[in-house]
Amino acid sequence: MARCAGAIGATARALKCSARPVARTASVAVASTSASPLSHLARPAVPLATRTLSSRAFSTTVNRSGGVAAPRRPDFKKLDADDVAFFRSVLSSPSSLITTIESPDGSWSAATSEDLIAYNLDWMDKYKGNSPIVLKPKTTGEVSKIIAYCYKKRIAVVPQGGNTGLVGGGVPVYDELVLNTEGMNQIRDFDDVSGILTTDAGCILEVLSNYLQPKGYMMPLDLGAKGSCHIGGNVSTNAGGLRLLRYGSLHGSVLGIEAVLPDEHGTVISVNMPGGGGAGALRKDNTGYDLKQLFIGAEGTLGVVTGVSILTPRLPSAVNVAVLSVPDFESVQTVFKEARAQLGEILSAFEFWDQEGLDLVLAHTGAKSPFESEPEGGRAFYVLIETSGSNKDHDDEKLGGLLEKLLEDGIIADGTLAQDETQALGLWSLRESLPEAAGKLGKVLKFDVSVPLSRYYELVEEARERFDKMGLVADGSIKTTVGYGHIGDSNLHINIVAKEYNEKTESAVEPWIYEAVAKRNGSISAEHGLGLMKANHVHYSKTEPAIALMQQIRRLFDPRGILNPGKYLPPVEHLPEEGQEKIK
């Protein structure tokens, strides 16, 4: 078999690859890491229960939802010792229940509110509730009994996975019961012919990735929070992440869902789950409405997802990573178009960040620049290209050809190619440490939007200009505005780093940013969901009839509105009363 090292070497040399940390070797041929999907550096994996509060401004945390959270519904039951006694009778393990409610007869010892903080507070320190009870059932049967009880007693429930969400969807607003899935962490089945994995909702994404790797498969999604987030949460938020460009959305790859419905029986609905009755997990099944699709991205408002069946792709045998510097955003688009055309089926990620983003990362993570020289005029735009394929030589040749053409055409100014897995991880970390680096500089107002590519970066520029004009930067209240994201999916993350979360900065940003997105026919939530933050802002991206239909669907599934109340959609005026139709 022929190798094309010569041609690729020439390309790489012309790219002036540096010998710095991320590209240490002197040899500059394109090298695939013949390994495994990259274990991207990202948020540290910390079990919820052991999270420390060291840096948390606990007492000053405020729930924010465009400034307004709907009041607590008075018809929801206040949790008490009788409820605790019932839940204890249902749970197979005493450690599945944590509560601050005192036991009248000493049959349990009450926890402190400190013990519950990790479940009441989101990881951004932005949303905080005051739930007195956290339940961590181990089986779908336990979840069913809990939900049936909550339905009958009108107890509000927040389904919670790894609590890595960014929009306040997974923590209580008031005193809702927290139903955490971390006790449901069993892999149920894996079929190594079809690649179909069936698992409890509480399995951690990275655990699933590690399970699949030796079998030659991988998860079709990857995201920064992989070390903590649960697959049930991924499905409930329709997580997108780094691989969507290649492997598509969960609407395509999730084949089956098991969920517990908020009705008097805690009905377990099983759609295309092996062993759940009816057809198992199949790539094709056209027997009725595809109910599982509704649960994907429903943020726990239609039922509690307890199990997932998902189609996993083959692990690529070759992975290449390159980071390129280009002079303007137009060139970013040109590189993307060329990459799609020339890399075709092996293009697996196309990420982007701006100069502000790189500066933040270099300043706050100790990483060194992957480039030999400073960009002309002090500013550039950066893209990360990843290829994943089944033949290393072919992939090297395709990527080499692309880079050669981009250099010849004068599109790219500088670039670095990873020579091994460590270097590939280093390049990925430039992109993936960005959220963390922003967090070190201040409190981050995070916006996750989709906008057509042609109008993608102008949104960042407009925001930056706006805050300059308003003097918000001069007085230090807004420190910087950073743009980065998944170009391949038109998904832009705008991070506005402020001194603190306060009304002044928030009102400068919201709803202006939603309006700016709506003007461009974009989405105000590309992959992070609505939660508490955007429940009242859906109209920026969906029409009135669509929202009305959504509200009716929610009411159909959850007639008493006990799941994640006050979140996801604008509230409806009336809840149906007893005796009205319920889910059978």
Number of residues that bind a second copy (CB under 8 A): 109
Q: Which of 3, 13, 152, 368 binds a second copy (CB under 8 A)?
A: 3
Residues 208-227 interacting with a second copy (rule: CB under 8 A): 216
Task: Rule CB under 8 A: say whether 70 interacts with a second copy.
Answer: no
Q: How far is the CB of 42 from a second copy (least distance, A)?
A: 19
Q: How far is CA 109 from CA 81, 106, 131, 340, in A?
A: 12, 7, 17, 59
Residues 539-578 interacting with a second copy (rule: CB under 8 A): 539-550, 552-554, 556-557, 568-569
d(CA 236, CA 254): 11
| Nearest to a second copy of 181, 272 (CB atom) | 272
Strands 133-135 and 177-180, by their bridges, are: parallel
Q: How far is the CB of 164 from a second copy (least distance, A)?
A: 15
d(CA 101, CA 79): 8
| Nearest to a second copy of 92, 552 (CB atom) | 552
φ and ψ of 539, to 5 deg: -60, -15
| Nearest to a second copy of 53, 549 (CB atom) | 549
- Cα-based angle 132, 137, 140 (whole degrees, multiple of 5): 135
d(CA 551, CA 555): 6
| Nearest to a second copy of 241, 435 (CB atom) | 241
Task: Rule CB under 8 A: say whether 581 interacts with a second copy.
Answer: yes
| Nearest to a second copy of 39, 342 (CB atom) | 342
**3-state SS assignment for residue 24:** coil
Q: Which of 103, 139, 267, 355 binds a second copy (CB under 8 A)?
A: 267
| Nearest to a second copy of 24, 539 (CB atom) | 539
| Nearest to a second copy of 364, 455 (CB atom) | 455
Task: Rule CB under 8 A: say whether 233 interacts with a second copy.
Answer: no
Q: How far is CA 408 from CA 10, 93, 468, in A?
A: 12, 65, 38
Q: How far is the CB of 459 from a second copy (least distance, A)?
A: 14
Q: How far is the CB of 95 from a second copy (least distance, A)?
A: 31
**3-state SS assignment for residue 278:** coil
Q: Which residues contact 446 (CB under 8 A, 6 or more apart)?
A: 124, 166, 435, 493, 494, 495, 496, 528
Q: Which of 337, 368, 440, 519 binds a second copy (CB under 8 A)?
A: 337
Task: Rule CB under 8 A: say whether 287 interacts with a second copy.
Answer: yes
Q: Which of 32, 228, 309, 490 binds a second copy (CB under 8 A)?
A: 490
Q: How far is the CB of 292 from a second copy (least distance, A)?
A: 9
Q: Which of 133, 434, 538, 563 binds a second copy (CB under 8 A)?
A: 538
**What's the per-residue H, E or C state across 303-352?**
CEEEEEEEECCECCCEEEEEEEEECCHHHHHHHHHHHHHHHHHHEEEEEE
| Nearest to a second copy of 113, 543 (CB atom) | 543
Q: How far is the CB of 328 from a second copy (least distance, A)?
A: 16
Residues 363-392 interacting with a second copy (rule: CB under 8 A): 388-391
Q: Which of 13, 251, 368, 519 binds a second copy (CB under 8 A)?
A: 251
Residues 443-462 interacting with a second copy (rule: CB under 8 A): 450, 452-454
d(CA 164, CA 151): 27
Nearest CA among 268, 271, 258 for reference residue 308: 258
Strands 177-180 and 157-160, by their bridges, are: parallel
Task: Rule CB under 8 A: say whether 343 interacts with a second copy.
Answer: yes
d(CA 260, CA 266): 6
Instruction: Please answer whether residues 272 and 293 qualify as being in contact, where contact means their C-beta atoms are separated by less than 8 angstroms.
Output: no
Strands 381-389 and 318-326, by their bridges, are: antiparallel
Assigned token pair, 471: 């003097």
Q: Which of 116, 203, 218, 268 binds a second copy (CB under 8 A)?
A: 268
Q: Which residues contact 548 (CB under 8 A, 6 or more apart)?
A: none
Q: How far is the CB of 380 from a second copy (least distance, A)?
A: 22
d(CA 283, CA 274): 13
Q: Which of 171, 184, 203, 244 binds a second copy (CB under 8 A)?
A: 244
Task: Rule CB under 8 A: say whether 191 interacts with a second copy.
Answer: yes
Q: How far is the CB of 298 from a second copy (least distance, A)?
A: 6
Q: Which of 13, 340, 368, 519 binds a second copy (CB under 8 A)?
A: 340
Task: Rule CB under 8 A: say whether 194 interacts with a second copy.
Answer: yes
d(CA 134, CA 146): 12
Q: How far is the CB of 419 from a second copy (least distance, A)?
A: 22
Instruction: Please answer whether residues 87 and 135 qualify as being in contact, where contact means their C-beta atoms are separated by less than 8 angstroms.
Output: yes
Task: Rule CB under 8 A: say whether 12 interacts with a second copy.
Answer: no
Counted residue by residue, the chain has a size of 584
Task: Rule CB under 8 A: say whether 271 interacts with a second copy.
Answer: yes
Sole window of 114-122, 156-164, 244-252, 458-466 interacting with a second copy (rule: CB under 8 A): 244-252
Residues 390-429 interacting with a second copy (rule: CB under 8 A): 390-391, 394, 397-398
Q: Which of 59, 78, 289, 378 binds a second copy (CB under 8 A)?
A: 289
User: What's the gap between Cα 148 and its chain centre?
Assistant: 29
Task: Rule CB under 8 A: say whether 519 interacts with a second copy.
Answer: no
